[in-house]
Amino acid sequence: MALSRVVITGVGLTSPNGNTLQEFRQSLLEGRAGISRIDMRYMGQVLAGVCDFDATKYQKRKELRVGTRAGSVSIYCAREALADAGIAVEDLVSDRTGIYVGTTEHGNVETENEVYNISQFDYDTKFWSHHHNPRTVSNNPAGEVSLNLKVHGPAYTIGAACAAGNLGLIQGMQMLQLGEVDFAIAGGVSESIRSFGIFAGFKSQGALADHEDPNKASRPFDTARNGIVVSEGGALYTLERLEDAQARGAKIYGEIVGYNINSDATDYVLPNPQRQAECMRGALKKAGMEPGDIHIVSTHATATPMGDIQECEAVREVFSDCPDTHINNTKGYIGHAMGAAGALELAGNLPSFEDGLVHPTINVDNLDPKCDLPGLVINEAKQAKRVDAILNNSFGMLGINSALIIKRFSN
């Protein structure tokens, strides 16, 4: 039996440089980054990508006090995606709607904050929050969306390190094709800038970026790159089977036609370019496509010295002879949004189906020769001959790799 075709009909996002797809895309085309300095306990000031969306647009202040930042990001993105898709919350078929939210981690922020708070009271546990458990369970972000929307279908998170945004979309697509749901809200979110442990961990690895100008700190592929800028954010999509989207006359951003997920099984942190190349080739095979059919490769590159080189080796191996394939990266603008990274980076490229523009990789003053890829778009947007297909790379710690292919929709 042929699987149903699955299409994207709505996009909701918040990022350090835009709270709508239109704002985000314009920032990418204009080379406008959104990195700032924040105070982090025990560390002083650190560089971070901070979102400034209005959390009270869809939540009451009491709900914000009880819930989590990841939950608020998820609720905002889900509601914005529904509005973009032209679907009223009350029109959702509650038990046939699924919510699939990819996330890098969840619960560290709340636990760290609560431990710090009771440390001010000599660790007296009577000052420990009774909201701790529902805040820290791993299904929290999706669960908060289900509570907010009053949706009764499956709602859970997908833990996949920094590949999680892609995996949220893949899970939503699969559940639609299996007939488990008729409508899906899927993507990825991150609250990582509120965790001391994230910053301290990257600093101890020598992988935390620093620069006198915050907006030049994240420098994928540049010889002066020195690490990650940790960011928060989210991007959730409404996914529908093609026949359902057409029946209601929905706007269609693109069609999910291929994906692949594999594991390096090599190292806790350092990626394996052979496995990454195999992941991309697997996605192409499932889509029935050749490398030259892809017009934009959105790279995962985080601006770490070895990580960028390893991914470039993999991309070069797959797309070495593809003159119409353009390659870009989004982290120079927003830093590394962890579980939201893949979902946000895909969103930044989706409008290319309409305008044919490939947004650039910024902050590349001196391209590392080991990262010199054919088709790499740096510092200025490029008008492509055509953009009919996007391959979105998203990789994570412990060697999880994902590649997702979106095509321009056509009957």
pLDDT digits (tens, 9 = 90+) for 229-245: 999 999 999 999 999 99
As a whole number, mean pLDDT of residues 70-85 equals 98
- Do the Cβ atoms of 71 and 191 come closer than 8 Å? no
The predicted model gives 322-340 an average pLDDT of 98
Helix (H, G, I), strand (E, B) or coil at 274: helix
| Residue 411 pLDDT greater than 90, yes or no | no
Whether 336 is a known active-site residue: answer yes
Architecture of the 6-247 domain:
3-Layer(aba) Sandwich (3.40)
Q: Residue 197 carries which DSSP code? A: H
Name the pLDDT band for 107 (thresholds 50, 70, 90). Answer: confident
pLDDT of residue 135: 94
> Which residue, among 95, 171, 107, 179, has the nearest Cα to 136 in the 3D structure?
107
- Edge-first strand order for the sheet with 44-49 is 35-40, 44-49, 230-231
Residue 259 burial (10 A CB sphere; 0-12, 13-18, 19+)? buried
CB atoms within 10 A of CB 39: 9
pLDDT of residue 252: 98
Question: Catalytic pick from 106, 211, 295, 336?
Answer: 336
Confidence of residue 43 (pLDDT cuts 50, 70, 90): very high
Please confirm, yes or no, whether 130 is among the known catalytic residues: no
Residue 14 is predicted with a pLDDT of 98
Closest by CA to 362, choosing from 10, 17, 11, 46, is 17
Select which of 51, 77, 162, 371 is catalytic.
162
Percent of the chain topping pLDDT 70: 100
Band the pLDDT of 264: cuts 50, 70, 90.
very high
Q: Pick from 393, 283, 373, 291: which is nearest to 327 by CA?
A: 373
152-194: pLDDT as tens digits? 999 999 999 999 999 999 999 999 999 999 999 999 999 999 9
Task: Indicate the range of 10-14, 92-96, 113-117, 232-236 predicted with least confidence.
Answer: 113-117
Residue ranges of domains in the chain:
6-247, 259-407
More confident residue, 224 or 108: 224
Q: Tell me which of 4-8, 18-22, 112-116, 331-335 is least confident.
A: 112-116
Residue 139 has pLDDT above 90, yes or no: yes
Residue 399: partners with Cβ closer than 8 Å, 6 or more residues away: 263, 264, 265, 266, 267, 268, 271, 272, 275
- Judge whether 6-247 and 259-407 match in fold: yes
For the ranges 129-133, 273-277, 280-284, 342-346, which has the lowest average pLDDT?
129-133
Looking at 90-200, which runs of residues are DSSP E strands?
97-103, 155-159, 183-190
Q: What is the DSSP string of 42-111?
A: TTEEEEEE-----GGGTS-HHHHHHS-HHHHHHHHHHHHHHHHHT--GGGS-GGGEEEEEEES--SHHHH
Catalytic member of 106, 211, 295, 300 = 300
Sign of CA dihedral 39, 342, 89, 172: negative
Which CATH number is associated with domain 259-407? 3.40.47.10
359 is a catalytic site residue: no
pLDDT above 70: residue 284: yes
pLDDT for the residue 1 = 64
Both tokens assigned to 71: 């939950």
